[in-house]
Amino acid sequence: MSQIAFYILSFLSVVSALLVIFSKKPVHSVLYLVFCFFTIAGHYVLLNAQFLAAVHIIVYAGAIMVLFLFVVMLLNLNADIEPHKDNVLKVSAVVAGGCLMLIMTSVMKTADTMPIIDSTNQIGVVKNLGLALYQTYMLPFELLSVLLLSAMVGSVLIAKKEDIENLPQ
C-alpha cells in the first residue's frame, strides 16, 4: 500500500520538478514547484513525519512560494519579453550544470544506503522531534535561530537603505 503511494508520489514529484524547468510561463513554473512541494510533503507523511510534512507545507507552499508568486506576478514576466541569452552564457551554463551533475552522481554513488524505515518508526512524532532538537541538538538549533535572526535584520537593513543614508552622522 505505502509502496504504491511511494511510487505515485515519486513519479509526480519528478514530473512536476521537470515541468518547473520546462514550462514557458514563470507563473506556471512557480505553481508546479508548489505542487512539487506537496508531493515531497507526501513523502514525509509516508516516513511517519507528519509534523515535518505540515511545517513543510506551511513554510514553503504557504509562505515562501506565495511571495515568489507575488514577485513573478508583479514583474509580469512573459515568454516573449524574456531577454535573449548569448551563446557564451549558454555554454557556460551547460558546463556548470554538467559539473553539478558530476558531483551529485559521485556523491550518490559513494553514499551509504540508509536502512528502510518501517512505519512504526516514531522519530517524526512531535514529541520525539522536540526532545531531539532541544536536548541533543540544543546548541546548533539555537545558533541556527540566531543566524536566521541576523539574516532577517540584514534584509530589513537593506530595504531601509535610503533612510539610513539620510541619517545625520
Partner 1 sequence: MELVLIIKLILVVAVFAIALGIAAYSTYGERKIAAFFQDRLGPNRAGPFGLLQPLADGVKMIMKEEIIPAHADKTLFILGPALAMLTACMTGVVIPWGSTIEIGGAYYPLQITDINIGILYAFAVVSIGVYGVMIGGWASNNKYALLGALRASSQMISYELAMGLSIVALVMTTGELSIGEIVRQQHGWHWNVIYQPLGFLIFIVCAFAECNRTPFDLPECETELVGGYHTEYSSMKLGFYLFAEYINMFISSAIISALYFGGYNFPFMDSLGLSHNMVTTIGVFVFFAKVIFFIFFFMWIRWTLPRFRYDQLMNLGWKKMIPLAIINVLITGCVVLLLNKN
Considering only 19, 54, 77, 133, the residue that binds partner 1 (CB under 8 A) is 54
Q: What is the footprint of partner 1 within residues 20-49 (CB under 8 A)?
A: 25, 27-28, 31, 34
Q: How far is the CB of 86 from partner 1 (least distance, A)?
A: 30
Site size toward partner 1, by CB under 8 A = 22
For residues 58-77, which are near partner 1 according to CB under 8 A? 58, 61-63, 66-67, 69-70, 73-74
Q: Does 15 bind partner 1 (CB under 8 A)?
A: no
- Of the pair 11, 70, the CB lying nearest partner 1 is at 70
Considering only 15, 19, 46, 51, the residue that binds partner 1 (CB under 8 A) is 51
- Tell me the C-alpha distance between 129 and 124, whole Å: 6
Give the per-residue SS3 of the chain. CHHHHHHHHHHHHHHHHHHHHHCCCHHHHHHHHHHHHHHHHHHHHHCCCHHHHHHHHHHHHHHHHHHHHHHHHHHCCCCCCCCCCCHHHHHHHHHHHHHHHHHHHHHHHHCCCCCCCCCCCCCCCHHHHHHHHHHHCHHHHHHHHHHHHHHHHHHHHHHCHHHHHHCCC
Residue in the structure block whose three cell numbers are 537593506: 158
Residue nearer to partner 1 on the CB measure, 58 or 99? 58
Residue 4 dihedral angles phi and psi, to the nearest 5°: -60, -45
Nearest approach, Cβ of 110 to partner 1 (angstroms)?
36
C-beta closer to partner 1: residue 25 or 90 = 25
Instruction: Determine if 9 is a binding residue for partner 1 (CB under 8 A).
Output: no
- Of residues 111-140, those binding partner 1 (CB under 8 A): 125-126
Count the Cβ atoms, other than its own, within 10 Å of residue 15.
14
Site for partner 1, rule CB under 8 A: 25, 27-28, 31, 34, 50-51, 54-55, 57-58, 61-63, 66-67, 69-70, 73-74, 125-126
